């Protein structure tokens, strides 16, 4: 007994999910890129692994050696939150927005990049 059909719907559904995911990825990269440009950094730096962490540290006003802390499990979680709060402050935003950057980056980085926030300089430590 031969069965036909049934596989086409799943393929279409997976294609739609992949297209949605691709759109989200492009939006996040664009938001990250715009955030870097607003801070006076090259936008392309946002897509280079490790180097984008170094540039984020510069924007946040933190020492570059913190990249090493980002490689230590559990410590990197705390450092990520601190850097996110400092980035928010560098754009005139509060700690709550910084927590949004830390925990909901795919939403908050496009808001920061495409929004009206202006880079005011890295916080002094």
Of the listed ranges 15-19, 34-38, 54-58, 120-124, the one predicted with least confidence: 120-124
Q: Is residue 102 part of a domain?
A: yes
**What's the domain range around 109?**
8-114
Read off the pLDDT band of 18 (50, 70, 90): very high
84 assigned to some structural domain: yes
* Confidence band for 11, pLDDT divided at 50, 70 and 90: confident
Say how far apart CA 5 and CA 65 lie, in whole Å: 57
Structural domain tally of the chain? Answer: 1
- Please check whether residue 124 lies inside any domain of the structure: no
Classify residue 87 by burial, with Cβ atoms within 10 Å: 0-12, 13-18, 19+: buried
What was the pLDDT predicted at 9? 82
pLDDT band at 111 (very low <50, low <70, confident <90, very high): very high
pLDDT reported for residue 7 = 64
In a domain, 120, yes or no: no
Residue 51 belongs to a domain: yes
Q: Does residue 123 fall inside a structural domain?
A: no
125 belongs to a structural domain? no
What number of other Cβ atoms are within 10 A of residue 4's Cβ? Answer: 5
On whether residue 92 sits in a domain, the answer given is yes
Residue 39 has a CB neighbour count (10 Å cut-off) of 21
Q: What's the confidence (pLDDT) of residue 125?
A: 63
């Amino acid at each position: 007994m031969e069965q036909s059909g049934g596989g086409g719907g799943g393929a279409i559904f997976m294609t739609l999910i992949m297209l949605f995911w691709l759109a989200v990825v492009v939006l996040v990269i664009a938001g990250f890129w715009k955030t870097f440009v607003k801070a006076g950094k090259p936008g392309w730096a946002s897509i280079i692994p490790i180097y984008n962490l170094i540039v984020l540290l510069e924007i946040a006003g933190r020492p570059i050696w913190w990249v090493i802390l980002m490689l230590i499990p559990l410590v990197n979680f705390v450092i990520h939150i601190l850097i996110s709060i400092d980035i928010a402050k560098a754009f005139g935003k509060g700690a709550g927005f910084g927590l949004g950057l830390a925990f909901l980056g795919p939403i908050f980085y496009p808001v920061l990049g495409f929004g009206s926030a202006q880079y005011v300089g890295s916080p002094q430590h």
